[in-house]
């Protein structure tokens, strides 16, 4: 049962090598042993998980069990789960138990998945290190003095440490890909509109997209197939057929044109990481792909544009947390103004408050044209760069992050240094494109991520490319070292 991929577990469950209840117990035991140190889960749900596993075992004895019957997974605590506290890692929602499932949760349940619990993250998904959680920092299983990345750091850490077979994540500016890179797993942010946002707590509505995080591209293909598809309850969900991503994994890379943006291989990129990325690109060449240098001329606009648009949307998305209907309410408010200010001051952490202030400022009368409108213009230029690039190449490749996992606390007092973590990932969200991150070797014992970006709805090609590369290499098979007795890795 140890260290198996979702694809292998599906087969093993069908072959009755073990039951879903046995498998689920094994994950719950591992969580109990390991997660005190990692803190990758905010909530663990043994009763729910075992009940779902029993139900899955019954389905597995029948004809045509659903695709993921009995597979234990974890959900980022940003996805609403009926009857199960959904906190978004915020004190604001510490007491919030949704009466509904997010569409993603509903679809994965329908596909037979077992819910182990809810994973840690940056508060309201605002961050790149999972250090801003109300429930404490999450640690990187490769080195517990280091961050797992963020904001989906709990999901990445849990999968890397084999505390879940796979997990859901969300990606607004890199929040699936960056932690996947830093924890040595594979994660894909789908095209904007590919996966329903209903029941996924909003950070920046025009950028947020949910996706799977798992050990392999094949696992991501299986999970994405279950998560994706039109949802009439999300107006930005696209009514596009969902291809059979798993069947498409065998697509050949012969003749595949891969664009390498010059802007992604500049000074920011740590040389050791660059070496790993080039090594991975040589493997792709060996598999028949052609490498082409391209330009994404407006890349440098990504960070300023993103840090206007995302906070602007967040500042109003988070206005609903006012202490009136649900969530944190301050004790004995004197009046309405006191109710609002104290509930929000107490309920939101520093980074969330910082972004609300920045976003409110950017949308204010007199500043709107200089900030929000300009940022939208930059966004169009960035998107156009990508569209132009895709007239020359099939996919784009480069590093996911400038360096491997950094130390806990290293960037918490320097928001801009933290924002630069997402320098290669933000543009993809601004353009609404699909992109994945996959392991590409290590630097100093820490994993490094290769990022692949595709044209809109080009997930199948991305997953196939990653899968072919994983068939030819073994970077994705590396596992974090076992924890030492003190819980202090290497």
Partner 1 sequence: MSWETVIGLEVHLQLATQSKIFSGSSTRFGAEPNTQASAVDLAMPGMLPVLNEQAVRFAVMFGLGIQAEIGRRSVFDRKNYFYPDLPKGYQISQFAEPIVGRGEFEITLDDGSSRRIGITRAHLEEDAGKSLHEDFHGQTGIDLNRAGTPLLEIVTEPDLRSAAEAVAYLKALRSLVLYLGISDGNMAEGSMRCDINISLRPAGSDTLGTRAEIKNVNSFRFVEKAIQFETLRQADILESGGRVVQETRLYDAERDETRSMRSKEVANDYRYFPEPDLLPVVLEESWIAQLRSELPELPPAKRARFVSDYGLSTYDAGVLVDSRALADYFEAVARDCGDAKIAANWVQGELLGQLNREDLDITRSPVSPAQLAGLIRRILDDTISGKIAKQVFEAMWQGEGDADTIIDSRGLKQVSDSGELEAMVDTVIADSPDQVAQYRAADAGKQKKLIGYFVGQVMKASRGQANPGMVNQLLARKLGDNQQDA
Active site residues: 76, 151, 175
CA-to-CA separations, 250 to 222, 437, 462, in angstroms, rounded: 14, 19, 12
Q: Which stretches does DSSP call E strand in 226-384?
A: 257-261, 290-294
Nearest-CA neighbor of 385 among 262, 211, 257, 204? 262
In the complex, minimum distance from the CB of residue 293 to partner 1, in angstroms, rounded to a whole number: 34
25 vs 189 by CB, closer to partner 1: 189
Tell me 405's DSSP state: P
Separation between Cα atoms, residue 80 and residue 133, nearest integer Å: 17
171 is a site residue for partner 1 (CB under 8 A) = no
With contacts defined by CB under 8 A, name the span among 171-179, 361-369, 402-410, 480-488 that binds partner 1: 361-369
Find the part of the chain contacting partner 1 (CB under 8 A) among 32-40, 198-206, 390-398, 452-460. 198-206
Q: Which is nearer to partner 1, 189 or 476 (CB)?
A: 189
Determine which residue in the list 106, 313, 394, 422 makes contact with partner 1, applying CB under 8 A.
313
What is the C-alpha to C-alpha distance for residues 154 and 139, in angstroms, rounded to an integer? 8
Nearest to partner 1 of 86, 468 (CB atom): 86
> By CB under 8 A, is residue 324 in contact with partner 1?
yes
Among 114, 200, 224, 269, binds partner 1 (CB under 8 A): 200
- Residue placing its CB nearer to partner 1 in the complex, 27 or 124: 124
Least separation in angstroms between residue 460's CB and partner 1 is 25
Q: In what order do the strands lie in the sheet with 446-453?
A: 41-44, 114-119, 72-76, 166-170, 210-214, 186-189, 435-443, 446-453, 395-399, 257-261, 290-294
Q: Are 284 and 465 in contact (CB under 8 A)?
A: yes
C-beta of 348 vs 475, nearer to partner 1? 348
First to last CA, the chain: 26
Name the minimum Å distance from CB 427 to partner 1: 18
Residues 62-81 within binding reach of partner 1 (CB under 8 A)? 79-80
CB of 104 to partner 1, least distance (A): 10
206: contact with partner 1 by CB under 8 A: yes
CA atoms of 270 and 42, how far apart (whole Å): 33
* Residues 23/9, Cβ–Cβ less than 8 Å: yes
Q: Which residues of 15-24 are buried (b: 16+ CB within 10 A; e: fewer)?
A: eeeebbbebb
**Site residues (CB under 8 A) for partner 1, limited to 101-120:** 102
Residues of this chain, 369-428, that bind partner 1 according to CB under 8 A: 372
The residue behind tokens 């779902």 is 52
Choose which of 243, 262, 326, 471 interacts with partner 1 (CB under 8 A): 326
DSSP characters over 13-46:
HHTTSS-HHHHHHHHHHHHHHHHHHH--EEEE-H
When binding is defined by CB under 8 A, the residue of 42, 71, 113, 201 that contacts partner 1 is: 201
Overall size of the chain counted in residues:
490
Applying CB under 8 A, among 56, 88, 305, 435 the residue interacting with partner 1 is 88
Is residue 312 a contact point for partner 1 (CB under 8 A)? yes
CB of 360 or CB of 412, closer to partner 1: 360
Residue of 316, 412, 442, 478 that binds partner 1 (CB under 8 A): 316
Pairing between β-strand 395-399 and β-strand 210-214 as defined by DSSP bridges: unpaired
Q: Does 320 bind partner 1 (CB under 8 A)?
A: yes
- The residue within the footprint of partner 1, chosen from 33, 252, 364, 484 (CB under 8 A), is 364
**Residue selected from 14, 58, 233, 380 as contacting partner 1 according to rule CB under 8 A:** 233
Kindly state the tokens that stand for 489: 């890795």
* Neighbour tally for 117: CB within 10 Å: 29
Q: How many angstroms separate the CA atoms of 143 and 408, rounded?
A: 10
**Choice between 432 and 449, CB closer to partner 1:** 432
What is the closest distance, in whole angstroms, from the C-beta atom of residue 378 to partner 1 in the complex?
Answer: 16
Chain residues in the site for partner 1 (CB under 8 A)? 79-80, 86, 88, 93, 96, 98-100, 102, 197-202, 204-206, 232-236, 312-313, 316, 318-320, 322, 324-326, 336, 340, 360, 363-365, 368, 372
């Amino acid at each position: 049962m140890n260290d198996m991929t979702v694809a292998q577990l599906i087969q093993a469950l069908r072959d009755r090598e073990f039951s879903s209840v046995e498998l689920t117990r094994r994950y719950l035991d591992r969580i109990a042993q390991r997660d005190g140190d990692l803190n990758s889960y905010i909530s663990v749900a043994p009763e729910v998980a075992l009940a779902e596993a029993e139900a899955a075992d019954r389905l597995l004895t029948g004809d045509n069990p659903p695709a993921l019957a009995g597979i234990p997974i974890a959900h980022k605590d940003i996805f609403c789960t009926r009857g199960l506290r959904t906190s978004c890692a915020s004190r604001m929602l510490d007491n919030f138990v949704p009466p509904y499932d997010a569409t993603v949760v509903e679809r994965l349940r329908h596909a037979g998945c077992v819910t182990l619990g809810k994973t840690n993250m940056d508060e309201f998904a605002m961050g790149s290190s999972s250090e801003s959680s109300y429930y404490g920092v999450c640690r990187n299983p490769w080195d517990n003095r280091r961050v797992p990345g963020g904001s989906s750091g709990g999901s990445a850490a849990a999968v890397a440490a084999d505390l879940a077979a796979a997990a859901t994540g969300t990606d607004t500016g890199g929040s699936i890909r960056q932690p996947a890179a830093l924890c040595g797993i594979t994660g894909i942010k789908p095209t904007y509109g590919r996966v329903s946002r209903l029941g996924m707590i909003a950070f920046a509505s025009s950028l947020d997209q949910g996706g799977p995080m798992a050990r392999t591209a094949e696992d991501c293909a299986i999970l994405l197939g279950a998560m994706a598809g039109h949802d009439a309850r999300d107006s930005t969900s696209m009514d596009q057929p969902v291809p059979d991503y798993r069947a498409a994994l065998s697509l050949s890379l012969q003749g595949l044109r891969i664009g390498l943006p010059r802007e992604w291989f500049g000074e920011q990129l740590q040389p050791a990481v660059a070496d790993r990325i080039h090594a991975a690109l040589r493997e792709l060449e060996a598999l028949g792909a052609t490498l082409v240098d391209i330009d994404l001329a407006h890349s440098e606009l990504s960070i300023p544009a993103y840090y206007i648009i995302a906070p602007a949307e967040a500042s109003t998305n988070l206005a609903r947390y006012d202490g009136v209907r649900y969530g944190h309410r301050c004790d004995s408010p004197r009046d309405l103004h006191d109710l609002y200010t104290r509930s929000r001051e107490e309920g939101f952490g520093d980074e969330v408050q910082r972004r609300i202030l920045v976003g409110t400022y950017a949308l204010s009368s007199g500043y709107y044209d200089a900030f929000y409108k300009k940022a939208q213009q930059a966004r169009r230029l960035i998107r156009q760069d990508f569209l132009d690039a895709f007239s020359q190449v099939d996919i784009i490749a480069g590093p996911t992050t400038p360096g491997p996992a950094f130390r806990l606390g290293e960037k918490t007092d320097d928001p801009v240094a933290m924002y630069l973590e997402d320098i290669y990932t933000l543009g993809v969200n601004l353009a609404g494109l699909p992109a994945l991150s996959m392991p590409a070797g290590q630097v100093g014992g820490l994993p490094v991520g290769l990022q692949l970006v595709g044209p809109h709805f080009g997930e199948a090609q991305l997953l196939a490319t990653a899968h072919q590369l994983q068939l030819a290499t073994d970077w994705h098979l590396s596992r974090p070292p076992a924890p030492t007795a003190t819980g202090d890795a290497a």
